[in-house]
Structure 1
Amino acid sequence: MKKLALLLLILSLYLESFSWGFYAHKKINSYAVFLLPPQMMVLYKRNIDFITEHAVDPDKRRYAIPEEGARHYIDIDHYGKYPFGALPRKWNDAVSKFSADTLQAYGIVPWWVELMMHRLTNAFEEKNQASILKLSAELGHYIADAHVPLHANSNHNGQYTNQQGIHAFWESRVPELLADKEWDFFIGKAEYIKDPGSFIWQRVLESAAAADTVLQYERQLREKFSPDKKFSFEDRNGIIVRQYSSSFTRAYDAKLKGMIERRMRQAIYAVASFWFTAWVNAGEPDLSKLSNRELTADDLREFENLNMAWKNSSIKGRDHETPFP
């Protein structure tokens, strides 16, 4: 019996270290498609499976290249106190003040979102279907990451407060348990964003402001739960794994008063609105008449390499999702 329990524990840690975050990212991209106008739905609805599945490519790339990790977060508390006025919002200004190496060391997600937005706009201008779909899927991932409080805090996995595992608890375990059956994703329609840079920085600041609450409420709640009540062996995708118990997860979500659902809704709206804004800025091209409809051999090879790296390698750079002890 002890050997079986140990085997289940090891299996649970293995699965979690490779799976955390995928569910929410796919849901966000998928729901975002339905916020688009009919002129865009002709492309996005037809390719919703691709946009959904490839929402997680940036996370897989963290297993392939070391520079990928910094694109997912910003430890903005490194630059002082809220609202972090010491950190210039323009990339060149920030580089001049802190150096590119420093910015890379503490994360670049808001600037990377702006760069990906520029690339997507260019793809629309070129009417390149393959590039539009790839960039849309990946841009959605980075925008969603900017909405996660622990992607905007140096204590990104509770490693400084003995809360290892809280990162994935917030962004994966809670949505996986509650999103499909209890949360409302009727949001409305995508809207044009006049200043995408200011928009994404505001979302980062919101995330940073919420990080202390995310950590504090988990600490308070675990004082009321014994270890055997905080964790349990439960079914996850058809496999029994050790994870945060349903009762602890529900109690945490209730204590946060809907924060995770709210941030997920905001991420869906933001992703759709960024896609829409890129299309408008490109002159609203007819998406039923695009070139490069098929993925290239290089595209397919890249997807294969990402999957191989994800399955067979370890994360290169910072691992903000280390499983709980």
Structure 2
Amino acid sequence: MWGFYAHQQINRIAVFTLPIEMIGFYKHHIQYITENAVNPDKRRYAVEGEAPRHFIDIDVYGDSAIYKMPRYWKDAVEKYTEDTLVVYGVVPWHVNQMRYRLTDAMRIGDVKAILVLSSDLGHYIADANVPLHTTKNYNGQLTGQHGIHGLWESRLPELFSAKYDFFVGKARYIDNPQLEIWQGAVRAHEALDSVLYFEKELTRIIESDKKYAFETRGRNTVQVYSRDFSKKYHEMLNGMVERQMRRAIEMVGSFWYTCWIDAGQPDLDKFRSFQFSDEELKKRKIELEEWKKKKIESRQHENN
């Protein structure tokens, strides 16, 4: 999972890729779509079965599995069984399932579902574009690099994304969304070696007391990767985080657009004035507060 900040930025900026027929509705509800981009991460600790929707440990399936893995759910189940797939993550298939749900919501004019599903779909698409979401070594725990997940997806965007170029052009129609999200996962996985190698190399050459620092977050003082270490690592990655955020933004907008086209291009402007009721907002807030109790085991990636 990208950190909360990056997820929210990806959903927010994706709105501006949309055509005139869609952007009025999405801009009117941009605060909701931005703020709720992080809801799936919160649900990981409160909803059974949520966690596998955020990743795929593709390397457990063997050498070059990222290129050989069945792209369609039915084929994958026949080859590996559903139980196995769920254990090692299902993000590419879950994105496609969410795409169908959003298309249906647009087709029948269920505005509540359109907003909820748009926010959630953006989250899962963004996750599929994170290199460390495509490996069993998701937090460097197998290579002595514990904490690298939060460094790559949270610390670096928070420090440096203000200077990124997020003009990615207009959303496009995707002919085969299932293959599209897999291509995103392939590109992410191809960057994995560099993610791990450069951190290990920088750790080897930098003074040990310069790798971490302490910062105040609210009322707490927490250990973080130092700004100097983060800057050097960011430079070694040579624009990788920016590229992956750009790809995620363009892909999110394009999936929303594709759902709208496949739904028959419904008039979304008539839903601009929609507002969740106070009761609905209160209920949703209570549901999302459940994540703090962490009743369900989930991978610890970053300090959200």
Normalising by the residue count of structure 1, what TM-score does the alignment of the two structures yield? 0.88
Q: Residue in 2 aligned with 1:122?
A: 104
Q: Residue in 2 aligned with 1:35?
A: 17
Against the structure 1 CA distance between its residues 86 and 266, is the aligned structure 2 distance closer, same or farther, given a 3 Å change threshold? closer
- The reply to whether residue 88 of structure 1 matches residue 70 of structure 2 is yes
Spell out the pairing of 1:85-164 with structure 2 (5 A cutoff): 85-164=67-146
Q: Residue in 1 aligned with 2:152?
A: 170
What is the RMSD computed on CA atoms of the aligned residues? 2.1
Q: Residue in 2 aligned with 1:4?
A: none
Q: Residue in 2 aligned with 1:314?
A: 294
Asked if the contact 1:79–1:86 (Cα under 8 Å) also holds between the matched residues in 2, the reply is no
Asked if the contact 1:167–1:320 (Cα under 8 Å) also holds between the matched residues in 2, the reply is no
1:79 Cα deviation (Å)? 1.2
Q: Could you tell which deviates more after superposition, 68-77 or 295-304?
A: 295-304
1:65 Cα deviation (Å)? 1.6
Q: Residue in 2 aligned with 1:281?
A: 262
Asked if the contact 2:25–2:272 (Cα under 8 Å) also holds between the matched residues in 1, the reply is no
Letter in 2 for 1:130: K
Letter in 2 for 1:267: A
Asked if the contact 2:2–2:130 (Cα under 8 Å) also holds between the matched residues in 1, the reply is no
Letter in 2 for 1:127: G
Matches of 2:132 and 2:283, distance apart in 1: 29
Q: Deviations over 1:14-42 (max 9, x none)?
A: xxxxx971000000000001111111111
Matches of 2:127 and 2:156, distance apart in 1: 16
Asked if the contact 1:67–1:317 (Cα under 8 Å) also holds between the matched residues in 2, the reply is no
Q: Could you tell which deviates more after superposition, 104-113 or 205-214?
A: 205-214
1:320 Cα deviation (Å)? 4.0
Q: Residue in 2 aligned with 1:251?
A: 232
Q: Deviations over 1:82-122 (max 9, x none)?
A: 25454211101111111110000000000000000000000
Letter in 1 for 2:50: E
Asked if the contact 2:55–2:89 (Cα under 8 Å) also holds between the matched residues in 1, the reply is yes
Which of 53, 73, 79 does residue 71 from structure 1 map onto?
Answer: 53
Matches of 2:240 and 2:215, distance apart in 1: 24
Letter in 1 for 2:140: G
Gaps spanning 5+ residues in structure 2: where? none
Matches of 1:216 and 1:298, distance apart in 2: 50
Letter in 2 for 1:121: T
Letter in 2 for 1:210: A
Q: Residue in 2 aligned with 1:8?
A: none
Letter in 2 for 1:206: R
Asked if the contact 1:129–1:292 (Cα under 8 Å) also holds between the matched residues in 2, the reply is no
Secondary structure of the residue that 1:305 maps to in structure 2? helix
Which of 231, 242, 260 does residue 223 from structure 2 map onto?
Answer: 242
Letter in 2 for 1:105: V
Matches of 1:28 and 1:264, distance apart in 2: 7
Letter in 2 for 1:252: Y
Q: Residue in 2 aligned with 1:261?
A: 242
Matches of 2:295 and 2:70, distance apart in 1: 30
1:292 Cα deviation (Å)? 10
Matches of 2:287 and 2:228, distance apart in 1: 36
Q: Deviations over 1:149-170 (max 9, x none)?
A: 0000110000101111100110
Q: Could you tell which deviates more after superposition, 239-248 or 293-302?
A: 293-302
